[in-house]
Homo-oligomer: A and B are copies of this chain.
Amino acid sequence: MIRLQEHSASPIYEQIVEQLKALVAKGAMKAGDKVPSVRELSSMLLINPNTVSKAYQELERQGVIQTVRGKGTFVSSNEAPRMAAERLEALQREIRRLAVEAKSLGLSEQQWEERIRMESRTLWGDERAAD
């Protein structure tokens, strides 16, 4: 369900954050679903519980999951994402950076937007199909 890349530039806790957000975005996990406990996931991934804990705390800050004391951690109903203003700003900055990288690689506008659409389809496509 979650797979770590050992020699990745991004830290382990960030990989967990990204992948869990991806699972929720894709609909593989839905509001109310139980997330593995800190100890469970840490032993599954063979990493320290503190590292998982750090990832979960970041996910809670962003409103993706919610912890219930003594019971566990659950996917939250993501109607009101947290820190939306800051995250939208960061998103736009990163899009700008990637567009520069794309052009720097010699991609045309059409090629760049085609690559975007490839990812859009896998995320939003199913919903459109369901219409």
Q: Which A residues have a C-beta under 8 Å from some C-beta of B?
A: 6-7, 11-12, 18, 21-22, 24-25, 61-62, 64, 66-69, 74, 76, 78-79, 81-88, 91-92, 94-106, 108-109, 112-113, 115-120, 123-124, 128
Contacts and interface: CB of A to CB of B under 8 A. Distances in A.
A11 B68 CA distance: 9
Contact of A115 (B78, B91, B112, B123): B91
A12 B119 CA distance: 30
Closest 10 A/B residue pairs (Cβ): A109-B124, A7-B66, A25-B103, A99-B119, A25-B100, A22-B100, A21-B104, A96-B119, A81-B105, A95-B119
B105 A84 contact: yes
